[in-house]
Amino acid sequence: MNKEPLVSVIMGVYNTKIEYLRIAMDSILHQTYRNLEFIIIDDASDQWCVAFLEEYKREQEVRHDDRRIRLFHNERNKGLTVSLNIALRMAKGSYIARMDADDISLPQRISRQISYMESHKDIDVLACGSFIYGGEPLFPTEKDFTDRPRFAGIYRKFEQERMRVRLSFANIEFTHPTVVFRASFLKENHLWYDESIHKAQDYNMWVRCIEKGKLGSLQEVLFISREFGERIGNRYAEEQSNYADATKIECLKRLLPESSLYEQQLYTCMRNMKAVGTSADNIKLIKRLIKANNKNGIYNRKIYREEVFFWWLRKSLYRQNQSIGKRMLISPYIFINILRVVILQTLRYERDFIYKVKKRKVWVEKLKVMEYSCN
């Protein structure tokens, strides 16, 4: 009798290039963890993509006696958010793992994540580290490893409350297709993807998940993510930003439920490097946020102050923000509070940077000798 808990891997597909799609599907079916179902939602793709999906499923069943694929077709294009909810409702597993149709899960990804969650019952949503490269050729080359290799999901120390505060300001590194959910956590808290959010749906999900449970990140690189020019974050950057801003405003309203449209505009730029409004208005908003949090205790008071002032300091140092930044820094209120946190936060980010550099060298060496292809 199989004692491994069933894992439901969910993936949406819409006209994904066949070469990428085959590798993504192979990478799931060739996981060292075997007790899984692979739920694929085809979002009304063109016939060439539909035909490939049907043929791939048939080949697995006939030639390999592998019936783990559950393939469903939307009658019309509904978008990724709706497709993921369809898959969530169909999932039978104790755990639900995300996958993207053009990425690669390394062979031990599911095994390592499930093992970690089985021994850490307090973790409800678990990401892992991922290697990011340009997407061509099909697998990373030596150049990708030596030309400033990029990784996501790297944390020297994953601080739950600090992550919660940062998520209230911006979408942070918590890579969507690397995530495993505890199914009971989603069901008990009625957590689904918000179908009014067509882009940046993962950010909205993390904001709601971290209010109900505990997020974590396994510090192992178990995923390869392609990043091309036509990917969603580049082609639809403005649309994605607008949906992310809607989530930020939801966070703002926890502290300032009667915030004005102007304050909402200032807040949505709180963590990014775009300064808007006047220095006086930004200082006023910062004071209001900290006062409201001190009064209501929505977030840890110390961590909230540290994050607000540190990110405003960083923002003020950017050349395009120097005009407004200088006026803010000469404010006694801003200057005194920045002095209080700058040393602590600078040391923290310095330690994080050193950790990432050391880890990057280790992970690159491991990836160089790893077999990516599952054929």
Cβ count within 10 A of residue 294: 12
Strand 180-182, strand 125-133: pairing: antiparallel
166 vs 306: CA distance, rounded Å = 11
DSSP letters, 259-294, are --HHHHHHHHTSSSS---S-HHHHHHHHHHHHHHHH
- Torsion angles phi and psi, residue 104, rounded to 5: -135, 125
Tell me if residue 241 falls in helix, strand or coil.
Answer: helix
Could you read off the pLDDT tens digit of each residue along the chain, which spans 375 residues?
Answer: 458 999 999 999 999 999 999 999 999 999 999 999 999 999 999 999 999 999 999 999 999 999 999 999 999 999 999 999 999 999 999 999 999 999 999 999 999 999 999 999 999 999 999 999 887 888 888 888 887 788 888 888 888 999 999 999 988 778 899 999 999 999 999 999 999 988 889 999 999 999 999 999 999 999 999 987 644 445 567 778 888 999 999 999 999 999 999 999 989 887 776 777 888 888 899 999 999 999 999 999 999 998 888 877 777 777 777 777 677 777 777 777 777 777 777 788 788 888 888 888 888 888 887 755 444
Distances (CA, A) of 368 to 143, 229, 245, 361, 364: 11, 25, 38, 11, 6
* Segment holding 98, helix H or strand E: strand 95-98
pTM to 2 decimals?
0.90
Instruction: Give the pLDDT confidence score for residue 199 in this predicted structure.
Output: 87
124 vs 215: CA distance, rounded Å = 6
Which alpha helices (DSSP H) does 170-231 contain, by range? 183-188, 201-212
Distances (CA, A) of 357 to 2, 15, 146, 354: 40, 37, 13, 5
> Does residue 169 contact residue 293 with C-beta atoms inside 8 Å?
no
Instruction: Give the pLDDT confidence score for residue 333 in this predicted structure.
Output: 74
Instruction: Give the pLDDT confidence score for residue 371 in this predicted structure.
Output: 59
> Does residue 86 contact residue 55 with C-beta atoms inside 8 Å?
no
- DSSP 8-state symbol, 176: G
Instruction: Give the pLDDT confidence score for residue 69 in this predicted structure.
Output: 98
314 vs 348: CA distance, rounded Å = 14
Distances (CA, A) of 104 to 47, 261, 285, 286: 24, 42, 43, 42
Q: Is 228 exposed, middle or buried (0-12, 13-18, 19+ CB in 10 A)?
A: middle
